[in-house]
Each structure stands twice: as C-alpha cells, then as structure tokens.
Chain A
Amino acid sequence: LAKTTQPISMDSYEGQEVNITCSHNNIATNDYITWYQQFPSQGPRFIIQGYKTKVTNEVASLFIPADRKSSTLSLPRVSLSDTAVYYCLVGDGPKWNAGNMLTFGGGTRLMVKP
C-alpha cells in the first residue's frame, strides 16, 4: 500500500482557499486517491476521490499531476466549520483475494481562524 505524507497542520482564515498537498511517491497504477475529513468526536467522512487530472464536487477539488506522485486537496473559501483533520489515502480498495488493508496516516489538522 502506497505510503502518504501530509503536513501535520495548517492554519487559514475564513474566506481563504486552502490547499493541502499529499505525497505518494509509490502510488501503483490501480490506486485511487481518496480524501477524508474528520471533525472532533466524529468518524471520518469521505470528501473526494480521484485517479488523475482534476476532480471537483460541491465540497472540494482534487488536483492530481500527470505523474500521480502527489495530490492537492483544495477547499475554496473555507469557513470556521471546515476546521478538521484531513486524511489522504491511496489504494484501490479492499479486494476478496488480497484483503488489502486500508490504513490512515496522521492527517493534516486544518485550523480556520476568524
């Protein structure tokens, strides 16, 4: 399973765009990149997933360069409620024959200030 590296923490202000980059140098051909968000005292929640180029949904955008060795989660115009921990995962999902453990790293703690 590809190892990921993220910044431990980031600070931002309301209304700003926040970009969190994740490094995954050993990403495999079949691997997808998935980001989760976790608020205090809650379980992680899926934000966005992508394989290559750019993916956008109502919450965020995910930018993946051609070599796929990194990815950037972009949160437009953050608010105080975006204060959370953001996890980057790389893998192709669990499979019958290999199990394929899904593991989380330490994540990035985003603090949005007024």
Chain B
Amino acid sequence: NAGVTQTPKFQVLKTGQSMTLQCAQDMNHEYMSWYRQDPGMGLRLIHYSVGAGITDQGEVPNGYNVSRSTTEDFPLRLLSAAPSQTSVYFCASSYLHTGVGETQYFGPGTRLLVL
C-alpha cells in the first residue's frame, strides 16, 4: 500500500491564481480530510468527507473547495489564492467509526507559498 499520497510536494502561486492539491489513498478509507498547518501552529481542519459524494466544512473552510467523486481521491481547490493561504497542507484518511477510535493516516504534505 502506498498509503496517503499528496501532490505536489511544493508549489508557488501568485495571488489570484488557482490550483488543485491532490490527495489519494489506497486503503479504502471512507473518511478523508484536509488540514492546514501554519508555522509553529497545530493543524486546523479545512474540509472533510465521510464518503464519495459527501463533504462538509471544517474549522477554516473559506477560500477552499473540495469534492469527493471516488473513495480514493479527495482534491482540495484554491479558486483564488491569497497570501494568507501560505501554509503546509496535509491530507488524512481513516475508516469510519466501527466501535473503536479510528486512527488517521496522514500524507507527507504540500508546502504552498502564495506571493
């Protein structure tokens, strides 16, 4: 299993540009999520999904869109990048609740710099 993969690893954007951060997992996990982590800070939840076709907002959803057309993929779209979106983005996945606490598996992250 490759686990959770993210592309690209690093991206530089100009203000106003759009881009999509890719996330894929091969563990057949129903739950997928996107976090952002600013320097020296903890992770903040952007959007999450409990299955194909089902998404919902996290703590900091503004400026980001997501979709979940397949179980495996959960792309994050920035429609008009702003310097405040400079951060490291992590994708994570897990099984849904099955009676015990589920652990999340994280991707390696995408470093985004918006100029």
Contacts and interface: CB of A to CB of B under 8 A. Distances in A.
Partners in one complex: yes
Interface of A: 31-34, 36, 41-46, 49, 51, 85, 87, 91-96, 99-107
A99 B56 contact: yes
20 contacts: A32-B101, A34-B101, A43-B106, A43-B107, A44-B43, A44-B106, A49-B103, A87-B43, A91-B101, A93-B96, A93-B97, A94-B48, A94-B50, A94-B102, A95-B96, A96-B30, A101-B48, A102-B104, A103-B45, A104-B35
A90 to B, nearest CB: 9
Interface residues of B, number: 33
A95 B48 CA distance: 12
Interface of B: 4, 30-31, 33, 35, 41-45, 48, 50-51, 56, 58-59, 90, 92, 94-98, 100-109
A88 B3 CA distance: 23
A87 B109 CA distance: 17
Contacts of B58: 101, 103
Q: Which 7 A-B pairs give the minimum distances between C-beta atoms?
A: A32-B101, A43-B106, A93-B102, A93-B97, A104-B43, A106-B42, A46-B103
Q: Is the interface of A mostly helix, strand, loop or mixed?
A: loop
A91 B106 CA distance: 18
A43 B103 contact: no
Given A85-B42, A104-B35, 12 more contacts: A31-B101, A33-B101, A34-B103, A43-B108, A44-B104, A49-B103, A92-B101, A93-B94, A93-B97, A93-B101, A101-B48, A103-B45
Contacts of A101: 45, 48, 56, 58-59
A113 B90 CA distance: 29
Contacts of B48: 94, 99, 101-102
Contacts of B109: 41-43
Nearest to A41: B109
